[in-house]
Amino acid sequence: MSANEENLMNMSDLTSLCKRRGFIFQSSEIYGGLGSCWDYGPLGIELKNNLKETWWKAMTYREDVEGVDAAILMHPLVWKASGHIDNFSDPLVDCKQCKSRFRADQIDLSKPCPDCGAEGSFTEPREFNLMFSTQMGAVTTDSSTVYLRPETAQGIFVNFHNVQSTMRKKLPFGIAQIGKAFRNEITPGNFIFRTREFEQMEMQYFVRPGEQKDFYEKWREIRYQWHLDNGLRKEKLRFHPHGEGELAHYADAALDIEYEFPIGWGEMEGIHSRTDFDLKQHQEYSKKNQAYVDQTRNNEKYIPYVIETSVGCDRCLLAILCDAYRVENPGDKENQRVVLKIKPSLAPIKVGVLPLMKKPELESVAKKIFDGLNKKYKCEYDLSGSIGKRYRRQDEIGTPYCVTIDYDSLDDKAVTIRDRDTMTQERVSIDQVEKYFSDRLN
């Protein structure tokens, strides 16, 4: 960050930019909204797709990882085997006065209600299962209850043998997936940090028992580096290893990669060494053998151990937006500029094409440039307002480059290209424009 720059200070500035500029809208807004559900608008979905593509390429364009896309609805026994039906709950308390709900582990029950200030008004904590259930088929009986998956991981575990055998994989190898997950969170909020419907990008890496520690360390570094490569600043990232009390009963090691959001440090990704718990459970409940036959070791049979990397797509996108949001010359009315310094490969719009004025001779040149570039990169054609206003608008949505076509362009067959971060402008010949961007954006 440079000296005259300020970071995002509070989430409401970002929420309002996201709404104003078409990144993220409240779900069902015209009906008053639906709690903690959000819709991605035109710019939001570009950013999200870019992020998912970056993850997908990093995680599956390698010899040892394959991808899947499993169904959201799964056999109910999956969730019995995984432990979600019995254990996927948070302790819930209600305030008897104002009826607000809280997670008992997140507030001090000996203090007054944080919402209404009533003293000693909490109910006894009770376990609240976070899974959404629904009915499958036309007849509503208990046997047709299915769940919206609360994580994508189980779709990978139940396909371990399908992927291993069809793709002829040898250990160690991984299976990756991006998909929606649903949790009936007790206290959702902080914009898209904690929602009831979200997307996860998960990978389960299957290894020989005894080798899990090395792979846990390896994946921890690979995943940390991925966040740095997305442009997140090092000082805003840290590891939070799970201590004795935090570790899930089946895990032999776990940590979170945390980001410092304006609301404080929060988990963005979990790296878990899950032992052979999941495949063993599925073997027991499905009665299907989940062992791997290791041909490199005299056909020794064993249930693989698993290293999991699990990152929330929406939460990661939130971190990227928070990190990129800068206010330059804060408080200086003339020179204040809000700019999203987002990595060009993630930016929703790569190039803004701006004819200086609404004149047919300028527009015909501008349209030609736009049509050529827009085949390769998502571009925006903008005619409305002064050129200064249009630059500011592109800065606010993180567009790395703007091309301006002016009257000189008609004579010198060149345009001005402006860089978002440095605001420097270069004159580039029109026949070199495509090369200019392929050098910088590919």
CB of 163 to ligand ATP, least distance (A): 21
What's the farthest any 2 CA atoms get from each other in the chain?
79
Residue 171, amino acid = L
Cis amide leading into 400 (omega within 30): no
258 binds ligand ATP per the rule CB under 6 A: no
Which structure tokens are listed for 208? 């020989």
* DSSP code, position 125: P
CA atoms within 13 A on the CB side of 47: 28
Positions in 54-73 near ligand ATP (CB under 6 A)? none
Nearer to ligand ATP, 194 or 326 (CB): 194
Which structure tokens are listed for 93? 């308390």
Calpha distance 191→262 (Å, rounded)? 12
185 binds ligand ATP per the rule CB under 6 A: yes
Calpha distance 126→109 (Å, rounded)? 13
155 binds ligand ATP per the rule CB under 6 A: no
Nearer to ligand ATP, 311 or 347 (CB): 311
232 binds ligand ATP per the rule CB under 6 A: no
CB of 319 to ligand ATP, least distance (A): 9
What does the angle CA 244 – CA 247 – CA 249 come to, to the nearest 5 degrees? 110
Write down the residue that tokens 């204040």 correspond to: 336
Nearer to ligand ATP, 174 or 355 (CB): 174
Cis amide leading into 42 (omega within 30): no
Nearer to ligand ATP, 258 or 395 (CB): 258
Nearer to ligand ATP, 39 or 408 (CB): 39
Task: Name which position in 260, 269, 278, 395 contacts ligand ATP (CB under 6 A).
Answer: 269
Pick from 50, 25, 20, 57: nearest CA to 342: 50
CB of 278 within 8 A of CB of 82? yes
52 binds ligand ATP per the rule CB under 6 A: no
Calpha distance 5→7 (Å, rounded)? 7
Nearer to ligand ATP, 195 or 394 (CB): 195
Task: Name which position in 44, 270, 348, 355 contacts ligand ATP (CB under 6 A).
Answer: 270
Q: How many helices (H) and strands (E) does the chain have?
A: 13, 24
Number of residues in contact with ligand ATP, rule: CB under 6 A?
16
195 binds ligand ATP per the rule CB under 6 A: yes
Q: Which stretch binds ligand ATP (CB under 6 A): 206-214, 235-243, 309-317, 374-382?
A: 309-317
Calpha distance 370→415 (Å, rounded)? 12
CB of 174 within 8 A of CB of 119? no
Q: Which stretch binds ligand ATP (CB under 6 A): 48-56, 77-85, 93-101, 265-273?
A: 265-273
Q: Which stretch binds ligand ATP (CB under 6 A): 203-211, 227-235, 312-320, 338-346?
A: 312-320
Positions in 313-332 near ligand ATP (CB under 6 A)? 314-315
Task: Name which position in 78, 268, 340, 354 contacts ligand ATP (CB under 6 A).
Answer: 268
- Residue 229: count of CB within 10 angstroms of its CB: 12
Nearer to ligand ATP, 185 or 406 (CB): 185
Q: Which residues would be at the binding site for ligand ATP (CB under 6 A)?
A: 151, 183, 185, 194-195, 198, 200, 267-270, 310-312, 314-315
